[in-house]
Amino acid sequence: MAERKKTMIKFTDDYLCGIFLIDEQHKILCSIVNRLFEHSQDIEEYYKEILLDLENYTRYHFASEEAFWGENSPLDVEEHVKQHNGFISIVESSMENQEFDKKRFDEFIEFLVQWLEIHIKVEDKKMLRSKSHLVTSDNDER
């Protein structure tokens, strides 16, 4: 029987920051998290593989973001980096559990969905507002 009470991430326009590279990476990040929902039936078999993909892609994405936010930003990039590092260590430690606990894992997925939503919609956009002069309507800065 399908047990699908939690909802996948719908990457609606309110997730968009207006920087093409960052937005595309956020889409990929969300699609990796959504794979956890797609595999709700056989999650025990796939969760390690998906979380490893999530960890690797998150590291890659955070590095892009930190380089981007870090350039001449008037805001506290250190604080933002701390949030990134905290997220990475939570994802990392989730893979260390020897025994799979469905209920705890469901809570963990819920955490991922909420963290990403708030981080992208609030924290990343806050960083972006300090760089609003870089956002162009056609993504062409030449």
**Minimum CB–partner distance for residue 57 and Fe ion (Å):** 13
Residue 71 Cβ vs Fe ion, minimum distance, rounded to whole Å: 14
Based on CB atoms, which residue is closest to Fe ion, 47 or 58?
Answer: 58
Distance CA 44, CA 26 (A): 25
Q: Which of 91, 124, 128, 131 is in the footprint of Fe ion by CB under 5 A?
A: 124
DSSP string, 17-47: -S-HHHHHHHHHHHHHHHHHHHTSSSHHHHH
Q: How far is CA 69 from CA 82, 109, 118, 127, 131, in A?
A: 13, 27, 17, 6, 8
- Of 65-84, binders to Fe ion (CB under 5 A) are 65
Q: How far is the CB of 62 from Fe ion (least distance, A)?
A: 7
86: burial class by Cβ within 10 Å (0-12, 13-18, 19+)?
A: exposed
Comparison of 24 and 45: residue with beta carbon closer to Fe ion: 24
Rule CB under 5 A: say whether 58 interacts with Fe ion: no
CB of 78 to Fe ion, least distance (A): 13
Q: Which residues bind Fe ion (CB under 5 A)?
A: 65, 124
